[in-house]
Amino acid sequence: MNAFGTRPGGLRLERMQSSRLWDGRSFRNMHPLIPRLLKPNVATPTLSAFLFEGNRRTPSGPLPSHDPRPHWSKRARSGLRATWLGHSTVLLEIDGVRVLTDPVWGPRASPSRWIGPKRFQPVPIPLRALPPLDAVVISHDHYDHLDYATIRALARHDVPFITSLGVGAHLEDWGVAPERIVELDWWESYALPDVDLTVTAAPSQHFSGRTLGSRNSTLWSSMVLRSERHSVFFSGDTGLTTEYAEIRERLGPFDLVMLEVGAFHPAWGHIHLGPENALEAWELLGGGAFLPVHWGTFSLALHAWDEPVETLLAQAPGRGVPLVLPRLGEPVEPAHVEGVTPWWRGVDGQRPTKVVVERPAASVPRDLPWPLD
C-alpha cells in the first residue's frame, strides 16, 4: 500500500479492455480538440520555469474562509446547495443527498510529504468535520484529485465511491471495500440505492496516471449528478471538446455547472480549460449557474493565482454568464445568488466591489423529471 496506487488487473482490467476508449494498451480521448483552439507552436513550460518562474503564483496571505457546519445542519431552501472547499473539492447537497467531489485534504498534490506542489490555502474544515456523506465522486487519478491520505480516512466510513474505470484499483489498495466501489465508463450511470440521485460519467479531454509508467492506465471523466428536481455538471479536468455539446443533448440542462478554470497554459489547451475556454464550455453545455473550481489552492501553473477568476469576472457579465464565486467554505444556493463580490482582492490589498451579472431566463424547468435514456 503506497501513495502511488496500483495498476488494475484481473476482472477490473478485462472490463476496462472492453471499453471503446481502450486502444489495446491504454485509454485514449475520443475526439481531438476543437481545431481553432490548438496552439502547436506554443512552447511547453520547462521544469525550471515551473519551479522558479511566474509572478504572484500564490496570494500574499491566507484567503478568507467560512466554517460551513452551521449551514449544513439545515436543508437548502432551493434543494441545491454547493460548498467549495478548495481546488476541485465541493460538497454538493442535492435534494438532501450529500456528495463530495474529488476530495483532497493533503498538504501537497504529490505522493510525497516533502516535495511537490504545496497547498497555499488550507481546507476550511478538518476532514473529520464533514457531515455524513451519501457518495464520494472521483473524476480521475491525478494527485490533486485523488489524495492517498484523504481516501484512507474516508475508507473508514460506509460510503460508496463512484469513479472512472480503473481508478477503483487505487481505492481498493488503500482500504476501500470492493463492494463500495463503482467504476463507470463514459455514458454509464449508477443510481444510488435508497436515495434520489443518479451519477453518470461523461466525456472529458484529459489523461491519467500517477507514475511515469502508468500514463492513461485508468480513465478520466466528467460527472453528471441528477435528482428528479436538480442536475449538476462537474468537469473534473478537461480541455475544450466538442463532446460538451453531446453532453448537453444527452444529459442537460443543468442547474449548476462546475468547470475547472485554474492551472492552465496555452500549451495545455487540449487538457485544461482555463477561464476563457471554460466560458466556451459553459455555452456548449447550455448554460446554468457557473461555479469555477480547480483554483485558489495549489500553484500548478505559471499564471497569477487569481488570474482565472479575474478573467471570468471581466468576461462573464458581457456574455450573460451567472457566476457563483463563494468564499472557501461558504455554502451557496445557485438559485439565490445575485451578483459576485470579488472577495479575493482584499488579500492583495485591493478593495472588493460587487459585480452584478444579469441572470438569463431560467432554462431548467423545475417540475419535470429527468430521464437518462
Closest by alpha carbon to 305, among 275, 285, 280, 284? 275
Instruction: State yes or no: pLDDT of 254 exceeds 90.
Output: yes
In a domain, 66, yes or no: yes
- Reported confidence tier of residue 339, pLDDT bands at 50, 70, 90: confident
Mean pLDDT computed over 277-296: 97
Residues in the chain: 373
Instruction: State yes or no: pLDDT of 206 exceeds 50.
Output: yes
Instruction: State yes or no: pLDDT of 194 exceeds 80.
Output: yes
Question: Can you give the pLDDT at residue 45?
Answer: 67
In a domain, 51, yes or no: no
How far apart are the C-alpha atoms of 114 and 208, rounded to whole Å? 23
Instruction: State yes or no: pLDDT of 34 exceeds 90.
Output: no
Question: Can you give the pLDDT at residue 55?
Answer: 78
- Reported confidence tier of residue 140, pLDDT bands at 50, 70, 90: very high
161 bridge partner residues: 136, 181
In a domain, 276, yes or no: yes
For residue 248, give its domain range: 59-348
How does pLDDT run across 47-76, given as a tens digit for each residue? Answer: 566 555 667 889 999 999 999 999 999 999
In a domain, 258, yes or no: yes
* CATH number of domain containing 158: 3.60.15.10
- Reported confidence tier of residue 264, pLDDT bands at 50, 70, 90: confident
Question: Can you give the pLDDT at residue 123?
Answer: 97
- Reported confidence tier of residue 243, pLDDT bands at 50, 70, 90: very high
- Reported confidence tier of residue 33, pLDDT bands at 50, 70, 90: low
Residue with more model confidence, 160 or 368: 160
- Reported confidence tier of residue 43, pLDDT bands at 50, 70, 90: low
Question: Residue 148: what are its φ and ψ, rounded to 5°?
Answer: -55, -55
Q: How many domains does the chain have?
A: 1
In a domain, 32, yes or no: no
In a domain, 341, yes or no: yes
As a whole number, the mean pLDDT across the chain is 90
Closest by alpha carbon to 132, among 161, 163, 99? 99
Mean pLDDT computed over 235-263: 97
In a domain, 83, yes or no: yes
What's this model's pTM, rounded to 2 decimal places? 0.91
Residue 114 neighbours by CB under 8 Å, 6+ apart: none
Question: Can you give the pLDDT at residue 53?
Answer: 62
Instruction: State yes or no: pLDDT of 364 exceeds 70.
Output: no
Question: Residue 8: what are its φ and ψ, rounded to 5°?
Answer: -65, 150
Instruction: State yes or no: pLDDT of 347 exceeds 90.
Output: no
Mean pLDDT computed over 260-277: 91
In a domain, 68, yes or no: yes
Instruction: State yes or no: pLDDT of 80 exceeds 90.
Output: yes
